[in-house]
Structure 1
Amino acid sequence: MLPRRAVAAIHPRLAVVAHDTFMVWLAWTAVSMMRWSLAPNPSPVSLFGPEVWIVIAAQGAIFWWTGLYKGLWRFASLPDLWNIAKAAVLGALVIAMALAIYNRLETVPRTVLVVYPLVLALLLGAPRLLYRYWKDSRLDFVARAPSERVLVLGAGKAGEALVRDLRRENRYAVVGFLDDNAQLRGARVHGVPVLGSIDQLPQLARETAAEMLVIAMPAANKAQMRRAVDLCEATGLPFRTVPRLEDVVAGRSSFNELKEVAIEDLLGREPVRLDWTAIRTRLAGRRVLVTGGGGSIGSELCRQVARLGVESLSVLDQSEYNLYTIEQELRRDYPDLLLNAWLGDCGDAMTCERVFAEARPEVVFHAAAYKHVPLLQGQVREAFRNNVLGTRVVAEAADRHGTDSFVLISTDKAVNPTSIMGACKRVAELFCQNFAQHSRTHFITVRFGNVLDSAGSVVPRFREQIRAGGPVTVTHPEITRYFMTIPEACQLILQAAVLGQGGEIFALDMGEPVKIRDLAEQMIRLAGKHEGSDIAIVYTGLRPGEKLFEELFHPQERYTDTAHAKIFLAQPRSMAWPLLTAQLGKAEAAVREFDQETLRRILEQLLPEFAVTEAAQDNVVTFGPR
């Protein structure tokens, strides 16, 4: 005896089969009767003769073969109608062949074979569409009225799909669309009118008594998104948005999920176009090591690399929790990946030797580094030990074990550095560029600015300050920074790794710099607050080592375009190899003796520009509340 659930699932299918079988019989007999009624000497049409049963059997087999019974009437749409039309035409051909074998088509006029599929498609398609219309319409007559009147910005595919979902939930009444496409003006989408352009939002929001706004423009660039948000803010109404396509594909959001507009949506840029074929060719089937693989950039690099079909992925990180988190995620999402998680410090030569000996990486992404500028300003020893000597330990291990490519993840703070962190990263760059001339390993440096939502960065700090009721602290009214999303930065790192042949510095196109003051004001507005009355902005003055603006190139690093529009190639500055190795030897001794003054002098000797710019940081201006 079949389980009750199985019986419940079978009954609707049987009803559909019975319906379609009846429609086949009706179409064939009706068309046959109509055709014979026009003949001078009409012949009687048998309602259940052998010919009819052949027609039903042949057409039923075609229905099954085309998968007609896999569709649900509740969601009948154009693809289902196309499938019905295809099944009807194929059925007519099969019926013609079957009847030709049975009686050479002696009793079947050729007109019947032409008209029959048209009538059958109509008889099968109309009930399905009527059923869907009835199911959709029934939602409008439930007892509880929709609670919120919604105006949707964007009448494209995303807006159309959104309206369908909102109508099913019955919590929202969509009162209209706004779209800049003049050809849509006056049109209706699922019965909802397109009222005007997006610029008319403030006026139309009042006229329609809208209670909420939804931005359904997932493909909008940052300028279009900012314009839409500014108009929404002008109405004073709450507003939401639908996720971008790349967020849905990456699993970060659900399709047609309504979410609050985040600052990432406004700072986002046009999608990056990558040569994924070249990237896969370079990494697929190879052994990869990511140092600092539990950090913001390192963990995203691990995710990107894991998707590319590498032979193995090794992750080295000194944070137990971060390493555990990324390991669990990778094992869950990529169960077939050969994954090795190593807990240890990349500056520990024995740890690196063991990792390289066992993992035998062919490609290394060196993302391990300390990055907090003000904190490291008084921690010269730790900054030099980790960011410089740690890089040297990993690079030398890569050279000894025949690693093919070594990619150093650097920062824009290494250009004309004013901070200990930036100076140490610049020395790491110098070492890799010059070591490339003495090694078979291809050493590549990739330099970029701030990434959104990385640990300890300004965006999560502002978000937390706003949540706590303020104030939001900004160091200087004119301070600017470059911003890029973590996935975009990591994808461009992979692309640069493909472009590099050894010794290069690649700088990523970060777009236009963003004023931190504007960033704070926008985040306050997105939180539904007002700057000044609800949340105060306090200017605290530049912190030690901080610059008003960042640069991607030194004046002596003449840069050129590459094959990728968002990646630039800088001309590396050479240094005498004996001098560099001698200074690093002194630095190693100073680290052992905790001699921070010697380490500072070494930085000044290696980087003359650092000695000048650092002195300029002594005069730090402090600002009070705005």
Structure 2
Amino acid sequence: MSRKSLLVFLFDLGVAALAWSGAFWLRFNFSWPDEYAQTIFVGLAVILPVHALMCWIAGLYRGLWIFASLPDMKRVLKAVAGSLAAMVAYAMLFHPLPAVPRSLIVLYPLLLTVFMGGGRIAYRMWKEHRMFGALVGQGKPVIVIGAGRAAAMLVRDMERSPDWRVVGLLDDSAGKWGRELGGHRVVGAIASLPEIAGDLKARHVILSIPSASVELRRRVADLCAQANLQLLTVPALEDIMSGSISVNSIRKVGIEDLLGRETVCIDTANVIGLLSDKTVLITGAGGSIGSELCRQIAHFAPARLILLEQSEFALYTIDQWFAQYQPVLEVVTLAADVKDATRLDEIFETYAPQVVFHAAAYKHVPLMEVRNAWQAVRNNVLGTLTVARCAQKHQAQRFVLISTDKAVNPTNVMGATKRLSEMLCQALYAAQPTTLFETVRFGNVLGSNGSVIPKFEEQIACGGPITVTHPEITRYFMSIPEAALLVLQAGAMGEGGEIFVLDMGEPVKIVDLARNMIRLSGFTEDEIRIEFTGLRPGEKLYEELLADAERTRATPHPKLRIACSRPVAVDLINEVEAWLDQGASPADEQVRAGLRRWVPEYEPMQQATPASLAAGGFLRSVQ
């Protein structure tokens, strides 16, 4: 036992003796009963050893007094109960004369609880005042939205921080108005935020309702924008329930908080059956989707991960992540081009992957539309065909193609190449169903390489303007982890040949996205302008997902449907291979004509030229 623990132990013995004698003193109206002296002293000889043993069993010397809380009080009550049992046993078995007064059954445990618990609470109050008392009144004034459990934990942590000073709380529950939480008053409803922030001289607001609906988040964001307040938020509810919330966990509200995406639940047992103890290969493993797939797959205990990537830096980055966060998992990082059949054959021969996720692709619409159309075909179509043939040749169990919503009625080369890749996977499965081929199709992901959000952030940092191609352009968005989890779910439930369509939620106007990002950055549209540059080559106003019930069928998962696509002839494979084997690189228009031969729904939106590509202005890197 350490010196501090020994002092606590002696304290508990001392207060037990004090409670025992004090109970007699109270019983006899604050006078010492001399005739009970022998009963008192013999009782101490019985009660104190039992009390000491119960304190040890209850674990009272494992906790730190400075963090004394409800669990410590539960341990105190266990020790008091044991000590009370010893007192009753002494009174009944030893029959002391005079007898122990019956009122001590109430007085003794009551005093003992007050002394043991109160001592711990008093020490914590003294210690916290000594450590943090000087911080009172310091820090930036902040208003906390919410007066629930998360807010209570947050307020407690803020009292120990020199950076923040809580000046009030807001909550829409009228029953909480005028009451206090952690010594801070709930001053009114959320709608009164602008006025109260002005009265209290606060420039920062923390939304401390982890389960807040998207509508509430948007409403608070609008109120903060009106009053020029900086809006922050706390982590997810599961982090708070685990006790991991702290002042350091406060973060700025991001655009993903306002887009309305719900937490994804998957059939974990099904995915474990797909990945556990399997060798899994991911192409494009260093990209936005590919790298997140790697991280998610690692949670399902694969035997080995094969990370295949053409970009050296991207491969290095994901390799370093696994070295830091998953050092036990066997990870093989391989530099390879998905069009290199010899290299792929060597990899499949050496490692024999059982599950393949093909995420490698050129995805950038305008760049692939002009001067790079044939390279898009080779990378997306030939790359898919090469990897898929290797998977089939080496008897992989499953092959999952990552596709895009731009493959639906495509108007650009990138979308048409992805649609042709889908068709080739279906044809390969029809020709030889030993490997199960599945396709997963979804829209834009938040924060991916080349996506609209990082571009807007860069433009805001430069002082604007934010460039949007058209005031009516809309897109579907989902988070990268959400997309990766649903890809795994689709891969686990597929039976071969399906095209899975993810539920992308409601489409979002890009101009509304830009406005929200301006507000969240603390600016107004007068300070950061929005400019419209015109649609770029191959760009649609609206993306399609085939998510309606007429052209899709349901699956057991509410966020996954299966597209009812037309049958694909096996002859397609040889025809496309012959086209891909031509020696010279065809011109862009010849590429489009070839794609239309096999993808009849492909309708190029406009005649793309280098000049029309340049008309996209600032937004060349935005999908």
Same fold (TM over 0.5): yes
Q: Is the 8 A contact 2:444 2:478 kept in 1?
A: yes
Counterpart in the other structure of 1:3:
none
The offset of 1:153, in angstroms, is 0.8
1:524-535 mapped onto 2 (5 Å cutoff) = 524-531=518-525, 533-535=526-528
Closer, same or farther in 2 for the Cα pair 1:165/1:253, shift >3 Å?
closer
Task: Output the amino acid matched with 1:225.
Answer: R
Q: Does residue 299 of the first structure (1) align with residue 291 of the second (2)?
A: yes
The offset of 1:260, in angstroms, is 2.0
Aligned CA-pair RMSD: 3.1
Q: Deviations over 1:50-84 (max 9, x none)?
A: x5244323222222222211222222222221221
Counterpart in the other structure of 1:436:
429
Aligned match for 2:69, one of 65, 72, 77: 77
Counterpart in the other structure of 1:603:
595
Counterpart in the other structure of 2:621:
none
Q: Deviations over 1:482-521 (max 9, x none)?
A: 1111011111111111221111111111111111111112
* Equivalent-residue separation in structure 1 for 2:558 and 2:86 (angstroms): 55
Report SS of the residue matched to 2:38.
coil
Q: Is the 8 A contact 2:234 2:249 kept in 1?
A: yes
1:434-583 mapped onto 2 (5 Å cutoff) = 434-437=427-430, 438-531=432-525, 533-553=526-546, 558-578=551-571, 580-583=572-575
Task: Output the amino acid matched with 1:340.
Answer: V
When normalised by structure 1's length, the TM-score is 0.90
Report SS of the residue matched to 1:169.
coil
Q: Is the 8 A contact 2:470 2:534 kept in 1?
A: yes
Q: Is the 8 A contact 1:557 1:572 kept in 2?
A: no
Q: Deviations over 1:364-384 (max 9, x none)?
A: 111111111111112122111
Q: Is the 8 A contact 2:359 2:402 kept in 1?
A: yes
Moved more, 352-361 or 411-420: 352-361
Q: Is the 8 A contact 1:503 1:572 kept in 2?
A: no
Counterpart in the other structure of 1:328:
320
Identity %: 44
The offset of 1:252, in angstroms, is 12
Unaligned regions of 5+ residues in structure 2, if any? Answer: 619-623
Aligned match for 1:594, one of 585, 603, 623: 585
Report SS of the residue matched to 2:249.
coil
Counterpart in the other structure of 1:316:
308
Task: Output the amino acid matched with 2:503.
Answer: D
Closer, same or farther in 2 for the Cα pair 1:307/1:614, shift >3 Å?
same
Q: Which structure is higher in RCO with an 8 Å CA cutoff and minimum separation 6?
A: 2
Task: Output the amino acid matched with 2:59.
Answer: G
Q: Deviations over 1:299-358 (max 9, x none)?
A: 111111111111111111111111111111112211221111111112211121122122
Aligned match for 2:352, one of 348, 360, 363: 360
Report SS of the residue matched to 1:407.
strand
Unaligned regions of 5+ residues in structure 1, if any? Answer: 1-8
Task: Output the amino acid matched with 1:595.
Answer: P
1:169-318 mapped onto 2 (5 Å cutoff) = 169-245=161-237, 257-318=249-310
The offset of 1:34, in angstroms, is 5.7
Moved more, 51-60 or 514-523: 51-60
* Equivalent-residue separation in structure 2 for 1:409 and 1:466 (angstroms): 32
User: Aligned residue pairs: how many?
Assistant: 609
Q: Does residue 119 of the first structure (1) align with residue 108 of the second (2)?
A: no
* Equivalent-residue separation in structure 1 for 2:419 and 2:44 (angstroms): 85
Q: Deviations over 1:196-230 (max 9, x none)?
A: 21112122223333332221122223222111110
* Equivalent-residue separation in structure 2 for 1:254 and 1:461 (angstroms): 31
Aligned match for 2:576, one of 570, 575, 584: 584
* Equivalent-residue separation in structure 2 for 1:139 and 1:85 (angstroms): 28
Q: Does residue 106 of the first structure (1) align with residue 95 of the second (2)?
A: yes
Q: Deviations over 1:66-113 (max 9, x none)?
A: 22112222222222212211222134446767x59xx93333749456
* Equivalent-residue separation in structure 1 for 2:6 and 2:19 (angstroms): 20
Aligned match for 2:17, one of 10, 13, 25: 25
Report SS of the residue matched to 1:240.
strand
Closer, same or farther in 2 for the Cα pair 1:403/1:53, shift >3 Å?
farther
Moved more, 58-67 or 238-247: 238-247
* Equivalent-residue separation in structure 1 for 2:457 and 2:231 (angstroms): 18
Task: Output the amino acid matched with 1:393.
Answer: T
When normalised by structure 2's length, the TM-score is 0.90
Closer, same or farther in 2 for the Cα pair 1:320/1:268, shift >3 Å?
farther
